[in-house]
Amino acid sequence: MSPHSKEENVHMNKLIPLALAALLLLAPVAALFAAEATKPQAKAKPAGDSALAPIEDVAGLPRVLLIGDSISIGYTVPTRALLKGKANVHRPPTNCSSTGYGLTMLDAWLGAKKWDVIHFNFGLHDAHRLRHGARRARLPAALKPSQS
């Protein structure tokens, strides 16, 4: 004997097909959500990408130029955020590499406009190991002492 009344059994018999129909209708939707959740998400662009994008000057603010290697690319966007409303923070649209390369490109990076602050950071591009682990900075040929 069933613990439910006859009326409850009739009601449950009507609900079971409705529940199955709902499951059948919702299964494809659930599958779509599950597929979307397991799909590899597109990675956000690294900060370096937006760091290389040119910016528009805000009139009346000082102009700052950051010149340097990948380390300076990494702090360009946070520096822009910290100085928003206080300075226009620019950088060349490239990894500026080493001091030697920087000296060959400096005129192009400076351009014709006036700069209020120019910040250089070439970092490890200038260092390399010599024999026995000693280090020295690489100087471009134009800056090397002449041998007379």
**The predicted structure's pLDDT at residue 86:** 97
pTM of the model: 0.57
Which string of DSSP letters, residue by residue, matches 65-76? EEEESHHHHHHH
Q: Same structural domain for residues 35 and 58?
A: no
| Of the candidate ranges 3-12, 53-62, 72-81, 117-126, the one whose mean pLDDT is the lowest | 3-12
| Residue 146 maps to a domain | no
Q: What is the DSSP letter of 145?
A: P
Task: State the Cα–Cα distance between residues 120 and 96, nearest whole angstrom.
Answer: 10
Q: Same structural domain for residues 70 and 124?
A: yes
Nearest to 120 by CA among 135, 109, 108, 136: 109
Task: State the Cα–Cα distance between residues 41 and 35, nearest whole angstrom.
Answer: 12
Quote the domain boundaries for residue 134.
47-140
Q: Same structural domain for residues 29 and 69?
A: no
> Tokens at residue 8, please?
């409850």
- Reduced 3-state DSSP string for 14-56: HHHHHHHHHHHHHHHHHHHHHHHHHCCCCCCCCHHHHHCCCCC
Q: Is residue 142 predicted with pLDDT exceeding 50?
A: yes
Q: Same structural domain for residues 95 and 118?
A: yes
Q: Same structural domain for residues 102 and 31?
A: no
Q: Over the chain, what is the mean pLDDT?
A: 76
Query: Quick one: how far is CA 131 from the chain centroid?
Result: 37
